[in-house]
Amino acid sequence: MKLCRRLEQKACLISTALSLFLGGSSCSVTTQTGTPKSFADWCLSKKNLPPETKRTVYVLLQKAGTSNCTQANQKLSTTTRLDLNNNQISDLKPLSSLTNLTYLSLNNSQISDLKPLSSLTNLTNLYFMNNQISDLKPLSSLTNLTSLFLNNNQISDLKPLSSLTNLTSLWLSNNQISDLKPLSSLTNLIDLNLENNQISDLKPLSSLTNLTNLYLTNNQISDLKPLSSLTNLAGPSLGNNQISDLKPLSSLTNLTGINLQNNQIADLKPLSSLTNLTSLGLSNNPISDLKPLSSLTNLNHLHLENNQISDLKSLSSLTNLNFLYLENNQISDLKSLNSLTNLKEIQLDNNPMLTNKTCPVKPESICKF
Q: Report in angstroms the alpha-carbon separations of 136 from 157, 241, 272.
A: 8, 27, 42
What are the tens digits of pLDDT across the range 318-332? 999 999 999 999 999
CA–CA gap between residue 180 and residue 352 (Å, rounded): 45
What are the tens digits of pLDDT across the range 223-237? 999 999 999 999 999
How many Cα atoms within 13 Å fall on the side-chain side of residue 159?
3
Does pLDDT of 13 surpass 70? no
pLDDT score at 10? 43
CB atoms within 10 A of CB 51: 8
pLDDT score at 243? 99
**Residue 138: CB partners within 8 Å, gap ≥ 6?**
114, 115, 116, 117, 118, 160
**Residue 331: CB partners within 8 Å, gap ≥ 6?**
309, 310, 312, 348, 351, 353, 354
What are the tens digits of pLDDT across the range 335-365? 999 999 999 999 999 999 999 999 999 999 9
Does pLDDT of 12 surpass 80? no
- Give 214's strand partners: 192
Does pLDDT of 16 surpass 70? no
**Is the separation of the CB atoms in 76 and 60 below 8 Å?**
yes
The number of residues making up the chain comes to 369
What are the tens digits of pLDDT across the range 174-211? 999 999 999 999 999 999 999 999 999 999 999 999 99
Does pLDDT of 11 surpass 80? no
| Strand ranges of the sheet holding 213-215, from the earlier edge strand across to the other edge | 81-83, 103-105, 125-127, 147-149, 169-171, 191-193, 213-215
Does pLDDT of 1 surpass 80? no
φ/ψ of 185, rounded to 5, equals: -85, -5
Residue 171 or 6, more confident: 171
CA 185 to chain centre: 19
**Is the separation of the CB atoms in 288 and 307 below 8 Å?**
yes
Mean pLDDT, the chain, whole residue set: 93
pLDDT score at 34? 74
- From the list 362, 361, 328, the residue with the least C-alpha distance to 347 is 328
pLDDT score at 35? 86
**Is the separation of the CB atoms in 208 and 228 below 8 Å?**
no
**Is the separation of the CB atoms in 262 and 239 below 8 Å?**
yes
Correct CATH for 251-369 of 3.40.50.720, 3.80.10.10, 3.30.1330.20, 3.40.50.1100? 3.80.10.10
What are the tens digits of pLDDT across the range 157-184? 999 999 999 999 999 999 999 999 999 9
3 state SS of 347: strand
pLDDT score at 15? 41
**pTM confidence score:** 0.89
Rounded mean pLDDT of 290-312? 99
The DSSP-derived string for 138-183 is: GGGG-TT-SEEE--SS-----GGGGG-TT-SEEE--SS-----GGG
The alpha helices in 65-160, defined as continuous H runs, are: 69-76
**Is the separation of the CB atoms in 274 and 294 below 8 Å?**
no
pLDDT-derived band at 27, boundaries 50, 70, 90: very low
What are the tens digits of pLDDT across the range 133-142? 999 999 999 9
CA–CA gap between residue 112 and residue 263 (Å, rounded): 35
CA–CA gap between residue 214 and residue 233 (Å, rounded): 7
